[in-house]
Homo-oligomer: A and B are copies of this chain.
């Protein structure tokens, strides 16, 4: 491994889906640092279709909460920052999903915790935040500074032979 052990822990081995966060805001400056990492990574087709809406106002947060599934509503209401990740056109979903993953890893690289969620009404979120465009909502991510009790115990993981085969 070229990546040192502390960075392996930070980005991969101790990565959790955060459901709660420490108090404290996430500044635009920190978000710009995340952007600088995400935009530097190539995608499979060379495009950069990811678009991100930062939901900062109380009114916008309430518009978003209506479209979250019941189990995601409270934690999304309480997260210090919520980002709606979308692609600029539906055909760009594969590259957009790649960039969404880079975004989540870059959030962790900044020392923040991420709670990515797919449990929401994507059409409703699209109407609410991207009404005049071809944008398609991919994922909603809660973001904040980590707290020790902010995640559930890790579920079981697949063994190498369950994921990889050789031909």
The answer on a CB contact under 8 Å between A109 and B3 is yes
What 0/1 pattern do residues 145 to 167 of A give for CB contact below 8 A with B?
Answer: 00000000011011010011111
The answer on a CB contact under 8 Å between B164 and A54 is yes
A108 to B110, CA, bound (A): 19
Q: Is A57 part of the binding interface, using a Cβ–Cβ cutoff of 8 Å?
A: yes
Q: How many copies does the complex hold?
A: 2
The chain B residue sitting closest to A95, CB to CB, is B118
What 0/1 pattern do residues 121 to 149 of A give for CB contact below 8 A with B?
Answer: 00000000100000000110000000000
The answer on a CB contact under 8 Å between B111 and A2 is yes
A10 to B2, CA, bound (A): 8
- What are the residues of chain B within 8 A of A94 when measuring CB–CB? 93, 97, 118, 138-139
What residues make up the interface of A, taking CB atoms closer than 8 Å to B?
Answer: 1-4, 6-8, 10-13, 15-17, 28, 31-33, 35-46, 48, 50-57, 60, 93-95, 97-102, 104-106, 108-111, 116-119, 129, 138-139, 154-155, 157-158, 160, 163-167
